[in-house]
């Protein structure tokens, strides 16, 4: 019975490794790799709802469509604030 659990653990580790490696290969961003235009997200169905942080995106310019990680939100640009100096 021990061999069953060892083999099951090895299979589970292999699945985790493959899924993690595939996640690392998905590029991040909103730009189309083919033409550089802005892409739009496609509403996820089925399995895609289980993958947080990944969207299927579609380019309206050239029709490219594939999975991309959601871009990291950029911090708002700093506004010009007056500096206070101690005298």
- Closest distance of CB 74 from Zn ion, Å: 22
* Nearest residue (CB) to Zn ion, 18 versus 41: 41
Looking at 6, 8, 15, 34, which residue binds Zn ion (CB under 5 A)?
Answer: 34
Token pair of 37 as six digits: 């235009």
- Closest distance of CB 68 from Zn ion, Å: 12
- Closest distance of CB 5 from Zn ion, Å: 48
Token pair of 64 as six digits: 């490219």
Contacts of 3 (CB under 8 A, 6+ apart): none
38 binds Zn ion per the rule CB under 5 A: no
- Rounded Cα–Cα distance for residues 59 and 55 (Å): 13
Which residues share a beta bridge with 40? 58
């Amino acid at each position: 019975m021990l061999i069953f659990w060892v083999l099951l653990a090895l299979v589970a580790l292999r699945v985790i490794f493959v899924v993690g490696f595939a996640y690392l290969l998905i590029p991040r961003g909103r730009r189309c790799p083919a033409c550089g235009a802005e892409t739009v997200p496609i509403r996820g169905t089925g399995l895609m709802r289980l993958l947080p942080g990944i969207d299927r995106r579609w380019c309206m310019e050239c029709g490219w469509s594939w999975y991309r990680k959601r871009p990291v939100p950029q911090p708002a640009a700093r506004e010009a604030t007056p500096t206070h100096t101690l005298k």
